[in-house]
Amino acid sequence: MSRSPYILEDEYDRPKPPPSEAPWYEIPDKQLLAVEHPAVILKNSERAVRMLGGGKAVAQAFKPNLENISEPNGLELRFRPGDALAPPVQGKPARTRAMVLKITVPKGKGPNPRPPPGEEPDIPKILKNLNGKFTSEVVGWVDHTIRFRDMADYQWNTRSSDWARNVEENLMELDLQALKRFRMTDKITADANAEIMRPPRFTHINYPFVYGFRQNPAIKVDTDINGEPVFINAGARVQTQTQYGNWNSDTVPQAGRLKRPKEPEVLVDCLKKLEELFEERPIWTRRGLMNNMPSSLWQQLKWAYPHVAYYWRSGPWRDTYVKFGVDPRKSKEFAKYQVVAFKVHTVKPKKDSSQNKGHFFDGESIILDGKIWQFCDLKDPLLAELADIEKCEARDDCDNTDGWFPNNRHFKIKYIMRRKLSALIAGKKMDDRVFEAILKEPDSAAPGTLPPRKQIMYTTSLDGQEGGTIGEGDKMDIVETEEGDAEVEVDELVDEFGEGFESESEGEDEDEDEDEDEASENEEGESSKKEKGETAARDERLQKLMERFMQGHQHEGVSRRTGDDDDFELLGESD
């Protein structure tokens, strides 16, 4: 069996292909420059050249660039060749490898050699129909092509502008005598039609921005009830359709907006549990609901409650969920569901076995997993008695701040609970006897006779040890304030209570110091004389300071002398 000549043992033993029978052509050593004109050129090729700046500008493009002799010059294209102020489009050279092919077609040959006006001839189709009856030759080769890729700037037609005509005639020709004749008006006019100098360019963006538009992957196509295609954002946040109570509205939401869900099972179980809880009690806080249901249903609470209740954002029942159809403003029986809110500055506590009791406040312990307590959940004896609407004279009309309670009684509840919270966080316990003064105050403040609120302050004589009892030996005082009944926040705590809260407001300390100063002045006349003398000395020093200031001498200011509250000394001077 003979060995096939095409079976090779080595890649270098491959047979050489036979010489090609295609003809060889020589390319003339003639370098050409191509211009990709952005306009559609059919007949008026001369105008196309004028748009490039004329024959001189095109010839200049063939000359080597002075900065880089291997690169040709660029071109400028103006869409209005006769307007020298028209912003041009810049053409930049790009390296290419192409040949210029000259094809000669016999006259009158081929179907429809001349296309209709406005249409370009289909050259490949014409050549195909000629059946090879044409000649071709290579004219030269192209190594650079000038391309116009920049976006055209905004165009401003200045043909009717006298100012533009003056600039074009005297400045654009670069004639010395014309430059001397050029004048610009220096008149300031308020004419709305006054001409202004056109900026060199209107936009600094040369290339269109590549947006890369793509379809949002979360958008899905679905059909509506009419069978029409609609776009649905599958990744959009699902709305819970929560309804809110509006204090300025006479009505409250009566029913939910959504159909009752049938799945998933955990959502259905949560919905059933909520219906049971709202049958027991028409108004709940979120913490109270969570503490009365299994923790496995907590995640479904936000999706389930819009089917059962609406939400109050502000007012006496702020941040509570109210059963549909129940309006707590209509009857004082809903006063026990009012809330008291505090702002607690503390580390979030860990969950423990007593979390199902966290919405109660008994005055003995506290679980800081929330900031809102309802009056019916106050188990502290003193607070529970104050929060009983039957033991006070309720309002005739519900108030948007105090609800059904009288203004001063509502303040007593908030104030006493705030102080007890502060003490519990500091590890102390308060005696109810501390609040005897405020409890003696009337529940209602008549307009024009008493301020709407009273601020209770106390100073304790404790030794500063934790775990003590506040009560005996305490000094109490009642100071009237001009503040309205804003939300009470547990964001201040006297220093002896620890660092659970921020420091007590300075206003209380200042008021207390002022009261003590007044008492000392009434009891001791000698102290008053001494203070008058110190005041005179202080005024004398301040007068010296003003004299130095008026004379222009440099001074550093006023400093308080150590150990003296009312005496001042000039910095830089010694007594």
Spatial separation of the C-alpha atoms in residues 322 and 377, rounded to whole Å: 16
Spatial separation of the C-alpha atoms in residues 364 and 361, rounded to whole Å: 8
Q: In this predicted model, which residue has the larger pLDDT, 305 or 208?
A: 305
Triad 372, 375, 380: Cα angle to 5°: 100
Mean pLDDT of 16-45: 80
Cα–Cα separations (whole angstroms), residue 230 to 217, 219, 223, 332, 550? 15, 10, 6, 50, 79
Residue 568: predicted pLDDT: 31
Residue 447: predicted pLDDT: 57
Residue 398: predicted pLDDT: 92
pLDDT tier for residue 346 given thresholds of 50, 70 and 90 = low
Residue 385: predicted pLDDT: 92
CA-based torsion, 291, 292, 298, 303: positive or negative: negative
Bridge partner list, 381: none
Q: In this predicted model, which residue has the larger pLDDT, 510 or 170?
A: 170
Bridge partner list, 58: none
pLDDT tier for residue 536 given thresholds of 50, 70 and 90 = confident
What pLDDT digit, counting tens, does each position of 49-64 carry?
Answer: 899 988 888 888 877 7
Residue 495: predicted pLDDT: 33
Residue 26: predicted pLDDT: 81
Residue 505: predicted pLDDT: 34
Residue 462 has pLDDT above 60, yes or no: no
For 376-380, 530-534, 537-541, which range has the lowest pLDDT when averaged over its residues? 530-534
Helix (H) or strand (E) holding 455: strand 454-459
Spatial separation of the C-alpha atoms in residues 303 and 270, rounded to whole Å: 9
Burial class (CB in 10 A: 0-12, 13-18, 19+), 444: middle
Q: Are 153 and 198 in contact (CB under 8 A)?
A: no
Residue 13 has pLDDT above 90, yes or no: no
Residue 62: predicted pLDDT: 75
pLDDT tier for residue 517 given thresholds of 50, 70 and 90 = very low
Q: Are 143 and 100 in contact (CB under 8 A)?
A: no
What pLDDT digit, counting tens, does each position of 427-447 carry?
Answer: 888 888 888 888 888 888 765
Helix (H) or strand (E) holding 414: helix 407-425
Residue 540: predicted pLDDT: 75
Spatial separation of the C-alpha atoms in residues 450 and 480, rounded to whole Å: 9
Residue by residue, DSSP assigns 136-203 as EEEEEEEEEEEE--SPPPPP---TT-HHHHHHHHHTTT--HHHHHH----------TT---PPPS-S-
Domains contained in the chain, CATH given = 27-209 (3.30.200.160), 529-570 (no CATH)
Query: pLDDT > 90: what percent of the chain?
Result: 19
* Overall pTM surpassing 0.85 (yes/no): no
Mean pLDDT of 453-469: 38
Bridge partner list, 233: 219
Encoding tokens for residue 186? 């220096």
Spatial separation of the C-alpha atoms in residues 17 and 560, rounded to whole Å: 108
Spatial separation of the C-alpha atoms in residues 221 and 230, rounded to whole Å: 6
State the amino acid at position 554 in one-letter form: Q
Terminal-residue alpha carbon distance, the chain: 130
Residue 465 has pLDDT above 70, yes or no: no
Residue 510: predicted pLDDT: 38
What pLDDT digit, counting tens, does each position of 109-168 carry?
Answer: 655 556 666 666 777 777 777 777 888 888 998 888 899 988 888 888 777 777 777 787
Residue 200: predicted pLDDT: 80
pLDDT tier for residue 272 given thresholds of 50, 70 and 90 = very high
Encoding tokens for residue 108? 């009158």
Question: Which contacts of 294-298 are long-range, i.e. CB under 8 A and separated by 24 or more positions?
Answer: 296/266, 297/266, 297/269, 297/270, 297/273
Residue located via tokens 């008492």: 519
For 36-40, 262-266, 494-498, which range has the lowest pLDDT when averaged over its residues? 494-498
Mean pLDDT of 442-460: 52
